[in-house]
Chain A
Amino acid sequence: MALDDASCQTDRAAPEPEGGIRGFWARVDRAWLLVVGVVVITAWMIQTRPDPYRRAFVFLEDGIRVTISITVVSFLFILIVGLLGGLGRISKNPLISGIAAVYVEVVRGIPLLVQLLFIYYASPIVLRDLGRHLAGILPGLAARLIAIKLNPFAAAVLGLTACYGAYMSEIFRAGIESIAKGQMEAARSLGMGYLQAMRHVILPQAIRLVLPPVGNEFVSLLKDSSLVSVVAVADMTRRGREFMASTFLALETWLLVALLYLVMTLFFARLVAYIERKTSFVR
């Protein structure tokens, strides 16, 4: 070819970062300092004032574990529901898109706290009554419906998934819709089916695009998981309440609980920012 390829190539690489301390300083995400700062303050409090902070920390420890596991488990389900909901919303099939739209609108209109209370306290009654009505027709199924007892952890995961799944559906829908129409056309014109094109062409681009809002959802979820303390899950917030009830140390208890949430949310926010940088590509 006549054209000199090198001459017309656009080189967008930034200048090489400097070496040494200043170079490191330029490359590092300075917001990590805030994470380190909060960790240092918390650790210092626990070290210098073992009573009550170390005592409180030890008391809260299993609550921290519950908070993290409930967040992570729910988030995995939320991603699946969000993906299906997002694909459902853009479906050309009116039944599928209708169901997805009703789900999103209904769930977004009810406070998470009320949803959790409903799932834990009210839904067993719904199932029991349903079981009674079905007793004559399907005795086997009816007996099982009546016997269902929701475990608090499962109820919490169910509630968080239902609620956040709706928000996540909207994020995925927006992400998929923001990929240019020509991408789907190019994939289809190569003989790929709709789902193949989604999987290999649209979603890999959409997922990178929605990473920031998805990461924000994770951090919000971590905070909102404190609401599950009302449905008998011994998460960090509930353990904090128990500690306060036995010691009457309101200030110290909630200060420590707040700091521990902050450590986790700041850390995950940084982690999301890091993943975002690693997976970005020039568009």
Chain B
Amino acid sequence: MSDNIIEIEHVSKRFGHVVALDDVTLNVKRGEVVVIIGPSGSGKSTLLRCINHLEAVDSGRIVVDGIPLTEAKNIDKVRAEVGMVFQLFNLFPHLTALGNITLAQRVVRKRSEEEAEEIAHQLLAKVGIPEKAHAYPAQLSGGQQQRVAIARALAMQPRIMLFDEPTSALDPEMIKEVLDVMLDLAQEGMTMVVVSHEMGFVKAAANRIAFMCDGYIVEETTPTELFAAPREERTKQFLSQILI
């Protein structure tokens, strides 16, 4: 087995006439943190969503932890191994923080309620809000909600975590508390694919950075190289706009 935990090979995807992904190839090694940047509509989120099959690819091949994402029965298996954090948190509003974190553990992992709750309390402590176990999402700030969402994904003990613009719906003062949790995860050796424009996070944690535009990966390298000497004109243009 190769040490690539995610293999994306020549993947294409279109929505109607819009080409969202155009022959994208990207491999992620175990324990690596890969950040995807690019203008809106460039296909970053679509690529991320293809990794756990929230979107089906039109052509090409995606293999996650040795499991090809082709047959229907593989999909739930892959999804349980891949945690996903959404831009708008997508917490379950009818459940408390604890309920959000324990639901899939009980339903998918078949853990007992006590076991699931113990794990949930540990994870809430890990993301820094142990006292919010019984709060409903509407009673939490955006940053707290996103941290509960991260804990919810971690409770499945995933081998890979996908982050889809996890801080872009947050007030500036709450971004740090979420990024701190993500940095901790990266330091623990979690494999992460992150769509984000938080350059602080990129510099602190990213092993590699991919710049996407118009559905394909324009350039893929280390953050240091990308910031110091972007090869492509399109990359330079984009970086000059976000790194003011």
Interface residues of A (CB under 8 A from B): 1-3, 5, 8-10, 12, 180, 182-183, 185-193, 196, 200-201, 204-205, 208, 281-283
25 chain-A/chain-B pairs, Cβ below 8 angstroms: A1-B128, A3-B143, A5-B141, A5-B144, A8-B174, A12-B138, A182-B86, A182-B88, A183-B92, A185-B54, A189-B79, A190-B104, A190-B108, A190-B152, A190-B153, A190-B156, A191-B77, A191-B80, A191-B156, A192-B107, A193-B76, A201-B92, A205-B92, A208-B94, A282-B138
Contacts of A196 in B (CB 8 A): 107-108
Q: How far in angstroms is the closest Cβ of chain B from A1?
A: 4
5 smallest CB-CB distances across A and B, nearest first, come from: A191-B80, A190-B104, A282-B138, A186-B90, A182-B90
A282–B139 CB distance below 8 A: yes
A2–B136 CB distance below 8 A: no
A183–B177 CB distance below 8 A: no
Closest Cβ neighbor of B104 among chain A residues: A190
B233 touches A (CB below 8 Å): no
A186–B86 CB distance below 8 A: yes
Q: How far in angstroms is the closest Cβ of chain B from A174?
A: 18
What is the bound-complex CA distance between A2 and B36, given in angstroms? 28
B140 touches A (CB below 8 Å): yes
A205's partner among B86, B94, B140, B143 (CB-CB below 8 A) is: B94
A200–B139 CB distance below 8 A: no
B173 touches A (CB below 8 Å): yes
What is the bound-complex CA distance between A283 and B108, given in angstroms? 25
What is the bound-complex CA distance between A3 and B179, given in angstroms? 13
Contacts of A208 in B (CB 8 A): 94
Most chain B beta-carbon neighbours within 10 Å: one of A186, A192, A200, A281: A186
B129–A1 CB distance below 8 A: yes
What is the bound-complex CA distance between A204 and B107, given in angstroms? 15
Other than A9-B140, A12-B139, A183-B90, give 5 A-B pairs with Cβ distance below 8 A.
A3-B174, A185-B54, A188-B79, A201-B92, A204-B94
Residues of B119-162 contacting chain A, CB below 8 A: 128-129, 131-132, 136, 138-141, 143-144, 149, 152-153, 156
B86–A281 CB distance below 8 A: no
What is the bound-complex CA distance between A140 and B166, given in angstroms? 66
Q: A3-B173, A5-B129 are in contact. Are A190 and B90 (CB under 8 A)?
A: no
Contacts of A283 in B (CB 8 A): 93, 138
What is the bound-complex CA distance between A188 and B82, given in angstroms? 11
Most chain A beta-carbon neighbours within 10 Å: one of B132, B139, B149: B139
Q: How far in angstroms is the closest Cβ of chain B from A19?
A: 26
B107–A189 CB distance below 8 A: no
What is the bound-complex CA distance between A108 and B118, given in angstroms? 51
B113 touches A (CB below 8 Å): no
Interface residues of B (CB under 8 A from A): 52, 54, 76-77, 79-80, 82-84, 86, 88, 90-94, 103-104, 107-108, 128-129, 131-132, 136, 138-141, 143-144, 149, 152-153, 156, 173-174, 176-177, 180
A185–B92 CB distance below 8 A: no
Contacts of B136 in A (CB 8 A): 281-282
Contacts of B90 in A (CB 8 A): 180, 182-183, 185-186
Contacts of A189 in B (CB 8 A): 52, 54, 79, 82-84, 153
A8–B54 CB distance below 8 A: no
What is the bound-complex CA distance between A189 and B108, given in angstroms? 11
Closest Cβ neighbor of B171 among chain A residues: A8
Closest Cβ neighbor of A207 among chain B residues: B94
Contacts of A12 in B (CB 8 A): 138-139
Q: How far in angstroms is the closest Cβ of chain B from A62?
A: 42
Contacts of A187 in B (CB 8 A): 92, 104
What is the bound-complex CA distance between A10 and B138, given in angstroms? 8
B128–A192 CB distance below 8 A: no
What is the bound-complex CA distance between A264 and B77, given in angstroms? 52
A190–B80 CB distance below 8 A: yes
A200–B79 CB distance below 8 A: no
Contacts of A2 in B (CB 8 A): 176-177
Closest Cβ neighbor of B87 among chain A residues: A182
B79–A191 CB distance below 8 A: yes
What is the bound-complex CA distance between A3 and B177, given in angstroms? 8
Contacts of B128 in A (CB 8 A): 1
A192's partner among B104, B138, B144 (CB-CB below 8 A) is: B104
A10–B139 CB distance below 8 A: yes
A5–B54 CB distance below 8 A: no
What is the bound-complex CA distance between A201 and B100, given in angstroms? 10
Q: How far in angstroms is the closest Cβ of chain A from B212?
A: 21
A191–B104 CB distance below 8 A: yes
Contacts of B54 in A (CB 8 A): 185, 188-189
Q: How far in angstroms is the closest Cβ of chain B from A255?
A: 45
B141–A9 CB distance below 8 A: yes
What is the bound-complex CA distance between A185 and B153, given in angstroms? 13
What is the bound-complex CA distance between A183 and B144, given in angstroms? 18
